C-alpha cells in the first residue's frame, strides 16, 4: 500500500537568497558559473532579465542552500524583496564600473531590506595583474586594491578581489557572505526567544507560608 503523500524532504538547514548586482560586463554571470558549476568560459555571457542557480554548501555543521540570482546590469531589482545578501560587483580594469557602485548602494538602501548583508567584489583580478606587469603605464582606468578596500571600509562591508578565470577568491566570497547571513539569522532567532521570568523565588518554608496566607485572605 502506497504511503500517503507528505511534505517534500528538506535537505538543508538554512535557505539563503543572494543577489549579484553591478554594471553590465563586470563578470557577474561568470562568477556565478564558476561558483555553481566550477566552470569558466571566455565567451561573453549576456544575462537577459534574471537568472539563478543553486548550490548547497556546508558551514559550521549546517547545510546552507544558496539560491543565487544574477541580474542584467540594467535590470531593476527592486521587485526582488527577499534578497538576504547582495554582492556588489565591479570590474577592476574598468573604473566607471567601480564609480557606479555608489549608485548601486543607493538603490539597495532605497529598495532592499535594512538588514541585508552586502559584500564588495572587484572581479577580473587576473586581467589587472597581467596589465600591471606588462602595461603598467596604461593603468589610468584600473582600480587598485587599496581603492576598493577604502570604499568597502566607507560602507562597513567586506571586500574581495576575484577572478572567475583563475578561481581566485570565488569560493571565499560566497562562503563569507553566507556565513555572515547565517550568523545574523541565528542572532535574530536568539533575540526572538521568549525570556522566562522567575518571580518570588523563595525557600520552601516561606513559599508555603505565603500560600497559606493568600488562601486565608483571598479564599471564598
The model's pTM: 0.77
**Domain assignments of the chain as residue spans, ordered by start:** 14-192
User: Could you report the per-residue pLDDT of 97-138, keeping only the tens digit for each?
Assistant: 999 999 999 988 888 888 999 999 999 999 866 665 444 445
Q: Give the chain as a 3 state SS string.
A: CCCCCCCCCCCCCEEEEEEEECCCCCCHHHHHHHHHHCCCCCCCCCCCCEEEEEEEEEECCEEEEEEEEEECCCCCCCCCCCCCEEEEEEECCCHHHHHCHHHHHHHHHHHCCCCCEEEEEEECHHHHHHHHHHCHHHCCCCCCHHHHHHHHHHHCCEEEECECCCCECHHHHHHHHHHHHHHHHHHHHHHHCCCCCCCCCCCHHHHHHHHHHHHHHHCC
CATH 3.40.50.300 fits 14-192, yes or no: yes
Q: Which pLDDT value is given to residue 117?
A: 97
Determine what percent of the chain is predicted with pLDDT higher than 70. Answer: 68
Q: Average pLDDT for residues 181-192, to the nearest whole number?
A: 88
Which of 23 and 205 is assigned the larger pLDDT?
Answer: 23
Q: Answer yes or no: is pLDDT of 169 > 50.
A: yes
Determine what percent of the chain is predicted with pLDDT higher than 90. Answer: 54
Q: Answer yes or no: is pLDDT of 209 > 90.
A: no
User: Could you report the per-residue pLDDT of 32-72, keeping only the tens digit for each?
Assistant: 999 999 888 766 555 555 678 999 999 999 999 999 998 76
Amino acid at each position: 500500500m502506497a504511503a500517503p503523500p507528505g511534505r517534500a524532504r528538506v535537505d538543508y538547514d538554512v535557505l539563503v537568497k543572494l543577489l549579484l548586482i553591478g554594471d553590465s560586463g563586470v563578470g557577474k554571470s561568470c562568477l556565478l558559473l564558476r561558483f555553481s558549476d566550477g566552470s569558466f568560459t571566455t565567451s561573453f555571457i549576456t544575462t537577459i532579465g534574471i537568472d539563478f542557480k543553486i548550490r548547497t554548501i556546508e558551514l559550521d555543521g549546517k547545510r546552507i542552500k544558496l539560491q543565487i540570482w544574477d541580474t542584467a546590469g540594467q535590470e531593476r531589482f527592486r521587485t526582488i524583496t527577499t534578497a538576504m545578501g547582495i554582492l556588489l560587483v565591479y570590474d577592476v580594469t574598468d573604473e566607471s564600473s567601480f564609480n557606479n557602485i555608489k549608485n548601486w548602494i543607493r538603490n539597495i538602501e532605497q529598495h532592499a531590506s535594512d538588514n541585508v548583508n552586502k559584500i564588495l567584489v572587484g572581479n577580473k583580478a587576473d586581467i589587472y595583474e597581467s596589465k600591471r606587469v606588462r602595461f603598467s603605464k596604461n593603468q589610468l582606468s584600473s582600480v587598485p586594491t587599496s581603492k576598493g578596500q577604502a570604499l568597502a571600509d566607507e560602507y562597513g562591508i567586506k571586500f574581495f578581489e576575484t577572478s572567475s578565470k583563475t578561481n581566485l577568491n570565488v569560493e571565499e566570497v560566497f562562503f563569507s557572505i553566507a556565513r555572515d547571513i547565517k550568523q545574523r539569522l541565528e542572532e535574530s532567532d536568539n533575540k526572538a526567544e521568549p525570556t522566562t521570568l522567575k518571580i518570588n523565588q523563595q525557600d520552601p518554608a516561606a513559599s508555603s507560608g505565603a500560600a497559606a496566607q493568600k488562601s486565608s485572605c483571598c479564599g471564598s
